[in-house]
Amino acid sequence: MKGKILLTGYEPFLDMKRNPSMEAIRLLEGMEYNGYEVVVEEMPMRYAEVRDIIRGLVDKHQPAAVICTGVSSIATDIPVERVAINVGSDDGRVNFGYERLDQVLNPDGPTAYWSTLPVREIVEKIMEAGIPAHISNSAGTQGCNLVFYHLMDYISEKNLGIPGGVIHVPRLPENAVGSRNPSMSLLESAKALEIAADLTASKLP
């Protein structure tokens, strides 16, 4: 084995008994692509802790690449995120550990970080598999943007030179019942993330 690819997802929250991001990556745990083993970790919905946790996971696994995942309640397909911004907030209903809204994540950090995953190729490969996907230019200001920014900040700070980024998945059908929210099956979401992991691994030494 050459090394590891770290996949993270978030724990269930609010009305979700299962978070599709975590459920999907669990299906990939232990898989091997181009000699790299997939390891998975669950992130808590405690935003104040995200920075230290993602840094700790990178230190723990020493991965060759990191793909963080999360659920989007409004996604109709697979949004592959292009950019993380240096701000965290919420929608006013819940506040998972923030002291205030519109919080700067790193006062000394850059305004934004680009994903270093092969974003466009991932989207193209997912669509070739018959699963809708697109490049997203906003990961929001909540959990997924937080882990995205803090991940890229750590990669930059430590000069790790590894690919990293975030991919959203839609709600599960069970999460969308009784609402007008879109959804996607767990197997389709897992397949999309598998394609992303496989393609990312194929570009590693």
Of 37, 41, 144, 150, which is the active-site residue? 144
Of 81, 150, 188, 194, which is the active-site residue? 81
Would residue 73 be called left, alpha or beta, if left means φ above 0 and alpha means ψ between -120 and 50 degrees? alpha
Q: Is 81 tagged catalytic?
A: yes
Of 37, 68, 168, 194, which is the active-site residue? 168
CB burial of 27-45 (b: ≥16 within 10 Å; e: otherwise) equals bbeebebbebbbbbbebeb
> Which residues have a catalytic role annotated?
81, 144, 168
